[in-house]
Amino acid sequence: MKALRLHGARNLQLHDEPRPVPRLEESLLQIKAVGICGSDLHWFEEAGIGDEVLKRPIALGHEFAGVVESGALSGKRVAIDPAIPCDHCALCKEGKPNLCLDLMFAGHGLHDGALRQLIIWPDKCLFPLPDAMTYEDGAMLEPLGVALHAVDLGHLKPGMTVSVHGCGPIGLLILQVAQLSGATKIIATDKLEHRLNAARRFGAAEVVRADDTSAESQEVLKETDYGVDVAFEAAGENPAVVAAINSVKPGGRVILVGIPADDRTTFQASVARRKGATISLVRRMKHTYPRAIRLVQQGLIDVRSLVTHRFSLDEFEVAFSTARKREGLKVIIKP
């Protein structure tokens, strides 16, 4: 089988490798669709992410769907949860598998991801796809899960106001979930015009160009009484964090979703303190796949139109180049 491995910063190489063999309670899957995520781009650009560095050539890719070739669900089309919690530690038993200290995650650390033709994965992490959903829809359930978890942390209630700072795929999914949760006014910000246009299509009441942090915050505040109830930062850039904190009202919540390239998040403490803001950081997701499937199946969330580019595994160079340039929205590779 073919497998794409990262050997160092901006050094991806295609390999021929033997077929993997599943063990008990595992399935062998053919990978049909893999989304390139912002965290994959961190690995690609920096040969690491946060405090994790590349230790060996690794297959990236954690947004994926495929068909079970052998295993308990043989023949089934499935979405795959990329996180494998231990299920035994105190955090898992508290219902927080996303915080599991022994968590294994596709395309991270020493655990290979989905940018290959075949993969072995635990049966407990496989979720059958309804007939109406495509493999690409299935791959998009992972970023939708992150968006669901982010909105859960925001404690959104009907009638609240929201700002979304960063309108890549996850930001646009947060926008949709927030609207579905009853937000009556959503203000979206980004530096790229095509992403602001997408935010408009998905229901943003106002869009703001994020070229200047102070001006961006002022534009958001102008559209509300004292600021928004919940501000979501989904850009992975400190100016977006600052804009989110500046835009939230006193007593409001700021949800940090993005991953900064330099592993540092900074903001003016006095502003956040005087507002009594609650700041929460998103650690992936938990228990979201069944919800995500229902939302997409019933047409309540649109993941399909977020996919703008598709490439084969052999076209990995142009695929990653397209994603790096932020052209379109979601780039999918089809192994």
Q: Are residues 199 and 123 in the same domain?
A: no
Q: Lowest-pLDDT range, 113-117, 209-213, 255-259, 301-305?
A: 209-213
Residue 297 inside a domain? The answer is no
Q: Which pair of tokens denotes residue 219?
A: 């534009």
* Mean pLDDT, rounded, of the chain: 96
For the cut 90, the answer to whether the pLDDT of residue 82 exceeds it is yes
Grouping H, G, I as helix, E, B as strand and the rest as coil, residue 220 is helix
Q: How high is the pLDDT of residue 306?
A: 98
Residue 28 inside a domain? The answer is yes
For the cut 90, the answer to whether the pLDDT of residue 86 exceeds it is yes
Q: What angle do CA 316, 320, 321 make, to 5 degrees?
A: 115
Q: Are strands 330-334 and 307-312 parallel, antiparallel or unpaired?
A: parallel
Residue 290 inside a domain? The answer is no
125: confidence class by pLDDT, cuts 50, 70, 90: very high
Query: Rounded CA gap, 252 and 298, in Å?
Result: 31
Q: Are residues 104 and 120 in the same domain?
A: yes
For the cut 90, the answer to whether the pLDDT of residue 307 exceeds it is yes
CATH assignment of the domain containing 166: 3.40.50.720
CATH assignment of the domain containing 98: 3.90.180.10
For the cut 90, the answer to whether the pLDDT of residue 213 exceeds it is no
Q: Are residues 112 and 150 in the same domain?
A: no
For the cut 90, the answer to whether the pLDDT of residue 115 exceeds it is yes
For the cut 90, the answer to whether the pLDDT of residue 215 exceeds it is no
The answer to whether 92 touches 135, Cβ cutoff 8 Å, is no
Q: How high is the pLDDT of residue 150?
A: 98
Mean pLDDT computed over 19-31: 96
Q: Which domain holds residue 110?
A: 2-140+303-334
* Total structural domains within the chain: 2
Q: Are residues 127 and 186 in the same domain?
A: no
For the cut 90, the answer to whether the pLDDT of residue 222 exceeds it is no
Q: How high is the pLDDT of residue 212?
A: 86
Contacts of 226 (CB under 8 A, 6+ apart): 249, 250
Q: Looking at per-residue confidence, does 240 or 222 come out higher?
A: 240
pTM: 0.96
For the cut 90, the answer to whether the pLDDT of residue 217 exceeds it is no
Q: Are residues 49 and 62 in the same domain?
A: yes
Angle of the 316-324 helix axis to the 38-46 helix axis, nearest 10: 110
Grouping H, G, I as helix, E, B as strand and the rest as coil, residue 130 is coil
Mean pLDDT computed over 20-25: 94
pLDDT tens-digit series, residues 231-277: 999 999 999 999 999 999 999 999 999 999 889 999 999 999 999 99
For the cut 90, the answer to whether the pLDDT of residue 214 exceeds it is no
pLDDT tens-digit series, residues 145-172: 999 999 999 999 999 999 999 999 999 9
For the cut 90, the answer to whether the pLDDT of residue 18 exceeds it is yes
For the cut 90, the answer to whether the pLDDT of residue 176 exceeds it is yes
Please list the alpha-helical segments (H only) found in 90-212. Answer: 90-93, 135-139, 141-154, 169-180, 193-201
Q: Which pair of tokens denotes residue 308?
A: 């703008």
- In this structure, is the dihedral angle defined by the CA atoms of residues 76, 126, 110 and 140, taken in order, positive or negative? positive
Q: How high is the pLDDT of residue 12?
A: 98
Residue 120 bridge partners (DSSP): 28
Q: Are residues 78 and 51 in the same domain?
A: yes
Q: Are residues 250 and 317 in the same domain?
A: no
For the cut 90, the answer to whether the pLDDT of residue 71 exceeds it is no
